[in-house]
Amino acid sequence: MTPSRNTLGWMYEKMVASRHFEELIEKIYMEGKTPVFNMANGPIPGEMHLSNGQEPVAVGVCAHLTPDDIVTATHRPHHQAIAKGVDLKKMAAEIFGKATGLSGGRGGHMHIFDAEVNFACSGIIAQGMGPAAGAALSRKLQGKPGVAVSFIGEGAANQGAFHETLNLAAVWKLPMIVVVEDNAWGISVAKEASTAIQCNADRAAAYGIPGHYIPGNDPLKIYEVAGEAIARARRGEGPTLIEVETYRLAGHFMGDAEGYRPDGEKDALFAKDPIPNLRRLLVSDHGFTEAELDEIEDKARAEIEEAIAFARQSPDPKPEDALTAVFA
């Protein structure tokens, strides 16, 4: 399965948009947090988890999805939110805690919900798998279109929810795909120190479903494998488990000193940055010109900067609205 030229351009655009979004967020996040780091200070309080380097996973999968399809993501969700089509202005405003945000500024960056495109995320490890299975079950029982994709980190594959959900998804042949983003680190714990099996995709065999491992953070290979899995789910043939080797170019969270990484690891990862790698491939193998790609980048960056400006200028929530949508 080879992406069309338009799809390749879309994939590059969303990868650039995600990276530029996070570069701006990273800079703004540190405002007011120096010289002594305090995550409560500045225009974006709280924790911040960046997905720089993991963009290929989002675009390779989401290129096959429609607004009817459901995505659940993790505490590191920006690349998937952007690839799924979440409203950029409202998402930025939510991260800034503004009244114009997707949830009125109540959720922040780990709790992004956009019902218009069926996107949700959570800060709890493996939490999104159960809701994704429920959404897939509802689609199947009601005969409605749509598949569910649950993105998780490799550490989540050791949670009970991972195994319970895959078991039921297989029993009920749900239209569901579980995508494991293996960035090699569960916070500061190396995968080999926490996980008994080298490849989580091998665990698919325990549930009688297909399992695929994709090395090298390759967006085109991800596109190919995800396309087959999503088509299989749409045919009613049940779930698929996919694990992708990807790279976390930043720390686990903003402020992470990353002392756990071996010397030279980050330099080696930046040398494999997927965005310039894809750009070179689009020119050498797919007939794109440098001018075309510059235009795509300019468009993506302009949209992100407009969204950030909207968030900056939006009003704070009113104190009297603090209990709105709170259920007793």
The band of 182, judged by pLDDT with boundaries at 50, 70 and 90, is very high
Query: Residue 177: what are its φ and ψ, rounded to 5°?
Result: -130, 130
Could you report the per-residue pLDDT of 278-320, keeping only the tens digit for each? Answer: 999 999 999 999 999 999 999 999 999 999 999 999 999 999 8
**In angstroms, rounded to a whole number, what is the distance separating the alpha carbons of residues 13 and 88?**
14
Strand 176-182 to 119-121 pairing: unpaired
User: Can you point out the beta strands (E) in the chain?
Assistant: 70-73, 113-114, 119-121, 148-153, 176-182, 185-186, 189-190, 211-214, 240-245
The band of 39, judged by pLDDT with boundaries at 50, 70 and 90, is confident
Does the pLDDT value for residue 326 go beyond 90? no
Could you report the per-residue pLDDT of 267-279, keeping only the tens digit for each? Answer: 999 999 999 999 9
Gyration radius from the chain CA atoms: 19
pLDDT of residue 328: 65
Query: Residue 23: what are its φ and ψ, rounded to 5°?
Result: -65, -40
Six-digit token string for 328: 């007793």
**In angstroms, rounded to a whole number, what is the distance separating the alpha carbons of residues 29 and 37?**
11
Could you report the per-residue pLDDT of 217-254, keeping only the tens digit for each? Answer: 999 999 999 999 999 999 999 999 999 999 999 999 99
pTM metric for this prediction? 0.96
**In angstroms, rounded to a whole number, what is the distance separating the alpha carbons of residues 60 and 83?**
9
Is the separation of the CB atoms in 248 and 266 below 8 Å?
Answer: no
**In angstroms, rounded to a whole number, what is the distance separating the alpha carbons of residues 132 and 151?**
10
Q: What is the CATH number assigned to the segment(s) 5-323?
A: 3.40.50.970
**Enzyme catalytic residues:** 248, 252, 260
Does the pLDDT value for residue 202 go beyond 70? yes
Could you report the per-residue pLDDT of 52-105, keeping only the tens digit for each? Answer: 999 999 999 999 999 999 999 999 999 999 999 999 999 999 999 999 999 999
Report the interhelical angle of 290-313 vs 5-29 (nearest 10°): 40
**In angstroms, rounded to a whole number, what is the distance separating the alpha carbons of residues 76 and 93?**
17
Could you report the per-residue pLDDT of 152-168, keeping only the tens digit for each? Answer: 999 999 999 999 999 99
In this structure, the number of other CB atoms found within 10 A of the CB of residue 238 comes to 20
Instruction: Please name which of 171, 117, 124, 123 lies closest in space to residue 149, comparing C-alpha atoms.
Output: 117
pLDDT of residue 325: 80
